[in-house]
Amino acid sequence: MTKSRFPANRTPEIGAFFQRDRNWHPPAFTPAYKTSVLRSPQRPLLSLDNTLSELTGPVFGHNILGELDNDLIYNFAGPGESAIGPRILVYGRVLDERGIGVAGALLEIWQANAGGRYRHKKETYLAPLDPNFGGCGRTITGEDGSYCFRTVQPGPYPWPNGPNDWRPAHIHFSIFGHGFAQRLITQMYFEGDPMIWRCPIVRTINDRRAIEGLTAALDMEATMPMDARAYKFDIVLRGRRSTPFENRIEGS
Amino acid sequence: MVQGLSRLKESASQTAGPYVHIGLTPNFVGISGVYERDLGAAMVADKTKGERIRVNIRVIDGAGSPLKDALVEIWQADAAGIYNSPSDLRGSADPNFTGWGRLPTDMTTGECMFETIKPGRVPFFDGRKMAPHLTVWIVARGINIGLHTRMYFGDEETANAEDPVLMRIEQRERVSTLVAPRDGDIYKFDIHLQGMNETVFFDI
Ligand SMILES: [Fe+3]
């Protein structure tokens, strides 16, 4: 995690981030998602101009990655084995709000197996574990912000909230851009899944377009023939002001 | 009609959920053999410069119970006040200090303990010096968008009194929610999500 591992031909950007649109993101207090009731701050957030503490952030080098880190079908499987389920590629780009690819972004994902079961001791769903599926993967974006994972499509699963609430099939994403203020965790959903619009967690988001922005499109052109279908999922991080005129003193 | 600005919208946040550990600290939940070690578990090495400290963090819900399924990340400057980031153009940070840590809260006690060093002072955007602080980011089941706050150090009264961010807090009694008292080499930082002592969270 040193500066030398940062993509060499990019000048680091130091401009302040665009303000976060809090009407686009889910609010903290969403009573239909019951756990949020006791875990949502109730006082207004204190607005703060970005300082170096928010403009900077850790950068991760490719040296942290193992060869199978972005292949969930094989990264936990025994020798000669592979995870069970519909094989898919999940690919796309990490962009910022200006449409510029974010190079060197660390993506970490986790998901249930094809039956909808997580490998976690708190998980109680009766669907079985797959001995060859761990459920985590990670990768770092290339120069143009592109990334790719291979995995199995996760199953939907029931969860304790309402008497009969089910999560749509989804993959959790954690993303590091270049500034700590860009830190983001979200979820990817699958085109055409009727469970999306019934889910209280999805519906913590008020704007339909924001939900559509988390829904990956099936892309048959990007399929690996006789191996895996493809879903395209672009992720957008906060943009930065690029200052054509120096109008503010940064630091000392 | 006018020309469009052709900006994209940031991807909407969704909760990290109850199984965030599978993705971010898999070894902690027994998924071994995928990653050698959990990222962010070690911030310091033998040669790291600065005063060694420990930071004990709890995240407490509106009923007064510590969260046992939260994930906490901290980001801080090195002992000289430089961030280990390409966007800090003021100089090179200590190569033996990552500046970034990630820990799950304990599934029984709800605590996590970062082993780190005390950061130096970093300038505010107008050049005034901020007091030493950690930037803290919290995600968990029931938290729809990650929460940003800061931890300041209880034994830095003078620096804290002139900190431009703390000075901006109008309700002065809330300043103390960001200041962790020191006990030996441990700073204890309780983050209250709600209630009388609700921690100040930032929109940054
Ligand atoms: Fe999930």
Task: Assign a CATH topology to domain A64-234.
Answer: Protocatechuate 3,4-Dioxygenase, subunit A (2.60.130)
Distance A218 CA to ligand 1 centre (A): 20
pTM of the model: 0.95
The catalytic position among A93, A138, A150, A170 is: A170
Digit-coded pLDDT (tens) for B160-186: 999 999 999 999 999 999 999 999 999
For A25, nearest residue in chain B (alpha carbons) = B12
Average per-residue pLDDT for chain B = 97
Please, which residues have CB within 8 angstroms of residue A127's CB and are 6 or more apart in sequence?
A113, A115, A116, A117, A155, A157
Q: Is residue B94 within 8 Å of A20, Cβ to Cβ?
A: no
Average per-residue pLDDT for chain A = 93
Amino acid occupying residue B198: E
The candidate with the shortest Cα–Cα distance to A238, out of B157, B9, B150, is B9
Give the DSSP H/E element, type plus range, for residue B165. none
**Does A214 contact B165 at a Cβ distance shorter than 8 Å?**
no
Q: Which of B85, B100, B165 to mutate to test the interface with A (most CBs of A within 10 A)?
A: B85
Chain B 9-48, residues with CB within 8 Å of chain A CB atoms:
9-24, 26, 29-31, 33-36, 39
Mean pLDDT of A214-242: 96
Q: For residue B34, is pLDDT > 90? A: yes
Q: Is residue A229 within 8 Å of A223, Cβ to Cβ?
A: yes
Percent of chain B with pLDDT over 90: 98
Separation between Cα atoms, residue B44 and residue B31, nearest integer Å: 24
Query: What ipTM goes with this model?
Result: 0.97
Give the DSSP H/E element, type plus range, for residue A136. strand A136-140
Q: CA-CA distances (angstroms) from residue B184 to A94, A248, B54, B177, B188? A: 44, 41, 9, 20, 10
Instruction: Identify the weakest region by mean pLDDT among A41-45, A219-223, A240-244, B10-14.
Output: A240-244
CA contacts within 13 A on the Cβ side of A186: 28
Q: Is residue A251 within 8 Å of B130, Cβ to Cβ?
A: no
Predicted local distance difference test score (pLDDT) of residue A223: 96
Q: Which residue has the tokens 């033996």?
A: B96
Separation between Cα atoms, residue A57 and residue A59, nearest integer Å: 6
Q: For residue B108, is pLDDT > 60? A: yes
Q: For residue A10, is pLDDT > 70? A: no
For B88, nearest residue in chain A (alpha carbons) = A56
> What residues are paired with A147 via a beta bridge?
A92
Closest-CA distance, A25 to chain B, in angstroms, reads: 5
- Alpha carbon A171 to its chain's center: 8
Break chain B into its structural domains and give their ranges: 20-192
Digit-coded pLDDT (tens) for A124-169: 899 999 999 999 999 999 999 999 999 999 999 999 999 999 999 9
Closest-CA distance, A129 to chain B, in angstroms, reads: 13
Q: For residue A248, is pLDDT > 60? A: no
Percent of chain A with pLDDT over 90: 87
Contacts B14 to A, Cβ<8 Å: 26, 172, 185-187, 201-202, 204-205, 214
Mean pLDDT of B11-23: 98
Q: Is residue B14 within 8 Å of B23, Cβ to Cβ?
A: no
DSSP A62-100: GGG--TTTTBTTTSSPPTT----S-EEEEEEEEEETTS-
Mean pLDDT of B129-152: 98
Mean pLDDT of A224-233: 97
Predicted local distance difference test score (pLDDT) of residue B5: 87
- Catalytic-residue membership of A170: yes
Q: Which long-range contacts (CB under 8 A, 24 or more apart) does A64-68 make?
A: A64/B39, A65/A138, A65/A139, A65/A140, A66/B34, A66/B35, A66/B36
- Catalytic-residue membership of A231: no
Predicted local distance difference test score (pLDDT) of residue A247: 46
Digit-coded pLDDT (tens) for A184-199: 999 999 999 999 999 9
Superfamily of domain covering B20-192: Aromatic compound dioxygenase (2.60.130.10)
Chain B 121-180, residues with CB within 8 Å of chain A CB atoms:
122-127, 129-130, 133, 135, 137, 139-148, 150, 165, 168-169
Q: For residue A251, is pLDDT > 80? A: no
Predicted local distance difference test score (pLDDT) of residue A243: 65
Mean pLDDT of A223-239: 97
Predicted local distance difference test score (pLDDT) of residue B8: 97
Q: Which residue has the tokens 């986790």?
A: A110
Break chain A into its structural domains and give their ranges: 64-234
Predicted local distance difference test score (pLDDT) of residue A13: 83
- Catalytic-residue membership of A118: yes
Write out the two tokens for B35.
Answer: 């990653």
Predicted local distance difference test score (pLDDT) of residue A242: 80
Closest-CA distance, B13 to chain A, in angstroms, reads: 5
- Catalytic-residue membership of A98: no
Predicted local distance difference test score (pLDDT) of residue A122: 87
Q: For residue A9, is pLDDT > 70? A: no
Distance A155 CA to ligand 1 centre (A): 10
Q: Per-residue confidence at A244, pLDDT binned at 50, 70, 90?
A: low
- Catalytic-residue membership of A157: yes
Q: Which of B5, B7, B15, B98 to mutate to test the interface with A (most CBs of A within 10 A)?
A: B15
